[in-house]
Structure 1
Amino acid sequence: HDTAATIEDRGATVREGAKDISSKAITFAEKNVAASLDYAQQLLHAKDLGEVMRLHSEYVQGQMKSLAEQASEMGQIVSRAAMDAAKPKT
């Protein structure tokens, strides 16, 4: 009976970790889509090629920074979920 309860507890822990990962991935996707739409809107109002190039440079730099931050945060969430799943239950 203890083994079944332990397996059930681990399954719940893994499911909770997967839920956190999925939720964060959706949040990141929404932010990235919003940034892309904002960028497209800015391009529509660009007055000349110089402004288009500046907007593009700013967008790419911003996205690279965001993606690096998102990757770091996702790595922390995955690590935490893995540690929680491997942690002995008391």
Structure 2
Amino acid sequence: MTAKAIVNTTANTIAKAIVKVIAITAKAKATRARNKATTARIDRILQSSLPPTTGSTSPSGPSETVDPNSVVELIIARVGKAKEVEIINR
């Protein structure tokens, strides 16, 4: 192998490594942003849920009412978060 070939091979290897590091950094940044958005969404859903009502009581205690839409949104948000974690761990 000539000196020129060695230099070219080394330069290509370094360039590939730099591109990979940049891609990993960008992916990590995007993941952190998605996680932050998901956490904010879950917090918003939990805060907007209706508080328990004490209007009627059963033998087991007061009944609790939660907005079904909030429950569905919370489940969707958590499933989305779980899928992100699964994809990252692959």
- Taking structure 1 as the reference length, the TM-score comes to 0.62
Please list every run of 5 or more consecutive structure 1 residues that lacks an aligned counterpart in the other structure.
Answer: 73-90
RMSD of aligned alpha carbons: 2.7
Amino acid of the structure 2 residue aligned with 1:67: V
Q: Which residue of 2 aligns with 1:35?
A: 38
Q: Which residue of 1 aligns with 2:79?
A: 61
After superposition, the C-alpha distances for 1:32-61 in whole angstroms (9 at most, x for unaligned) are: 110001111111111136649x47x61433
Highest relative contact order (Cα 8 Å, sep 6+), 1 or 2?
A: 1
Name the one with the larger helix percent.
Answer: 1
Amino acid of the structure 2 residue aligned with 1:19: I
Q: What secondary structure sits across from 2:50 in the alignment?
A: coil
After superposition, the C-alpha distances for 1:11-43 in whole angstroms (9 at most, x for unaligned) are: 001100111111111111101110001111111
Q: How many residues align?
A: 72
Name the one with the larger strand percent.
Answer: 2
Residue identity (%): 14
Aligned counterpart in structure 1 of residue 51 of structure 2, from 48, 53, 78: 48
Please list every run of 5 or more consecutive structure 2 residues that lacks an aligned counterpart in the other structure.
Answer: 53-64
